[in-house]
Amino acid sequence: MDLSGFLENLGKSDRVFLSLVGDVSGKEVLEIGCGNGLLTVYLALAGANVTAIDDSQVAVENTRSLAEFNDVGSRIDVYKMDAMELGDRGDLEASFDLVVGRFILHHIEPFQRFSWVLNKVLKKGGKGIFLENNARNPLLMFFRRFVVGRFGIPKYGDSQERPFHPSEVEVLKRSFGRVEVHYPEVMFFSLVGAYVFRANPVAMRVSNKIDDFIYSRVPAVHKYSYRQIVKLEKS
Please choose, from the candidates 80, 82, 176, the residue with its C-alpha nearest in 3D space to the C-alpha of residue 122.
Answer: 176
- Dist CA 52 CA 99 (whole Å): 10
User: How far is 215 from 235, CA to CA, in rounded Å?
Assistant: 32
Residues 181 and 222: beta-carbon distance below 8 Å: no
Nearest-angstrom CA–CA distance, 185 and 131: 12
Residue 97 in contact with ligand SAM, rule: CB under 6 A: no
Residues 205-223, buried b or exposed e (16+ Cβ, 10 A)? eebbeebeebbeeeeeebe
Closer residue to ligand SAM in complex, CB, 130/188: 130
- Partners of 54 in beta bridges: 80
- Interface with ligand SAM, residue 16, by CB under 6 A: no
The answer to whether 77 contacts ligand SAM (rule: CB under 6 A) is no
Q: Which is nearer to ligand SAM, 64 or 107 (CB)?
A: 107
103 scored as a contact of ligand SAM (CB under 6 A): yes
Asked if 64 is part of the footprint of ligand SAM (rule: CB under 6 A), the reply reads no
- Decide if residue 104 touches ligand SAM (CB under 6 A): yes
The phi, psi pair for 229, rounded to 5°, reads -125, 125
19 near ligand SAM (CB under 6 A): no
**Which one of 108, 117, 135, 196 is in contact with ligand SAM (CB under 6 A)?**
108
- 35 vs 193, beta carbon nearer ligand SAM: 35
Nearest distance from C-beta of residue 121 to ligand SAM, angstroms: 13
Strand, coil or helix: 132: strand
Dist. CA 216–CA 148, nearest whole Å? 28
Q: Residue 127 interacts with ligand SAM (CB under 6 A)?
A: no
Q: Identify which range of 27-35, 174-182, 201-209, 221-229 contacts ligand SAM by CB under 6 A.
A: 27-35
Out of 11, 49, 55, 95, the only residue in the binding site for ligand SAM (CB under 6 A) is 55
- What does the binding site for ligand SAM look like in residue numbers (CB under 6 A)? 32-33, 35-36, 53-56, 59, 82-83, 102-104, 107-108
